[in-house]
Amino acid sequence: MDESHTIWVEKYRPVLLADIVGQDEIVERLQSYVRTGSLPHLLFTGPAGVGKTTAAIALAREFFGESWHMNFRELNASDERGIDVVRNQIKQFARTSPLGGASFKILFLDEADALTPDAQAALRRTMESFAQTCRFILSCNYSSKIIDPIQSRCAIYRFRPLDPSAIAEEIHRIARSENLRVSEDAVLAITYIAQGDMRKAINALQGAAILSPEITKDGVYAITATAKPEEIDSLLNLALSGDFEGAERVLAELLRERGIAPNELINQCYRAIMKRPMDDSLRVALVDQLGTTDFRLSEGANSDIQMDALIAQFVIIARRPG
């Protein structure tokens, strides 16, 4: 296969548990299962792009060696979320004996929080009935959507967003492998965009590398359709100084000329407001408005009107006496 066209998030996916960065405590605990040869049912929970799927596959590789494909199956619950997928595909895999002398098989169920409550109830019974021949690894973004009987049967591992230093380390490693020159400003831009998501960081690096082997901050922001932090600061400065027309011009440039998504701008404004030194009452009012606009957009409201209304509310809040 020509690796020049490979998606880098797959090309550089860690093969072994020890290769996973930024989750040292979880990796150490998973390695202890390999050393002892025993494995309980597991529940991996955390945001996207932090290593949940990679950890499950690496764990299977280390348990089963070269024959790991025979005793490992991955299903995505968001593809088929009803009870039939449990009764058919999951139960059929779980009830068969492991191959190649293995003590058990592993079924990895990604996005398990997409399963309906009835499907989860059926899954609980399957986990109980076939515990001798099959171990389940469930992955989800929100553990609160997993029913309590399943959670109580699993060892729960909470994956946290990756530190900027861990993302920067991986970016430098990939850059060396791909013969790229990445400026420190570009690395900072990638970590800012990623927000702890390694997959997003690697995709940003590959997108910028397609344009040029010289990776710059401007190139990273352009390819990811993300506003620079200083542009967000300019927008907030104008709005909080009461200059609606000036803030609206900046907003229009970001939305219409740069093509930045409204939800992305809301997210960046939120991050900037939380870091910005200001009175708590002002911060609370601004965040409240961000939440209202985000909800309205999710309900299908007109994005141009809602974003202009958000800036208008910022201006009104800033002009309030006291």
Tell me the two tokens of residue 147: 């029913």
Residue 166 pLDDT more than 60? yes
Angle between helices 52-64 and 24-36 (to 10 degrees): 20
Give the model's pLDDT for residue 321: 74
User: What pTM did the predictor assign?
Assistant: 0.85
Distance of CA 171 to the CA centre of its chain: 17
Residue 88 pLDDT more than 80? no
Give the model's pLDDT for residue 285: 95
User: What share of the chain has pLDDT > 70, as a percent?
Assistant: 96
- Element (DSSP H or E) covering residue 165: helix 164-177
Residue 213 pLDDT more than 70? yes
Within 13 Å of residue 7, how many CA atoms lie on the same side as its CB? 7
Residue 17 pLDDT more than 90? yes
Report the range out of 79-83, 86-90, 211-215, 229-233 with the highest average pLDDT: 229-233
Give the model's pLDDT for residue 4: 54
Question: To the nearest whole number, what is the mean pLDDT of the chain?
Answer: 91
| Separation CA 48–CA 139 (nearest Å) | 10
Residue 1 pLDDT more than 50? no
Cβ atoms < 10 Å from Cβ of 308 = 17
Residues 6+ apart with CB under 8 A from 237: none
Give the model's pLDDT for residue 7: 87
Distance of CA 52 to the CA centre of its chain: 10
Give the model's pLDDT for residue 322: 58
Equal CATH topology for 164-224 and 229-319: no
Give the model's pLDDT for residue 3: 54
Q: What is the pLDDT of residues 221-264, one digit of tens each?
A: 989 989 999 999 999 999 999 999 999 999 999 999 888 999 99
Of 206, 203, 191, nearest in space to 161 by CA: 191
Q: What is the pLDDT of residues 27-53, one digit of tens each?
A: 999 999 999 999 999 999 999 999 999
Residue 174 pLDDT more than 60? yes
Q: What is the pLDDT of residues 129-156, one digit of tens each?
A: 988 889 999 999 999 999 999 999 999 9
Q: Is it true that domain 3-158 has CATH number 3.40.50.300? A: yes
Q: Is it true that domain 164-224 has CATH number 1.10.8.60? A: yes
Domain ranges of the chain: 3-158, 164-224, 229-319
Give the model's pLDDT for residue 5: 59
Give the model's pLDDT for residue 281: 93
The fold adopted by the segment(s) 229-319 is Zinc Finger, Delta Prime; domain 3 (1.20.272)
Give the model's pLDDT for residue 304: 94
Residues 6+ apart with CB under 8 A from 1: none
CB 39 within 8 A of CB 79: no
Of 122, 180, 131, 175, nearest in space to 153 by CA: 131
Residue range 93-118: mean pLDDT, rounded: 88
Tell me the two tokens of residue 144: 């609160």
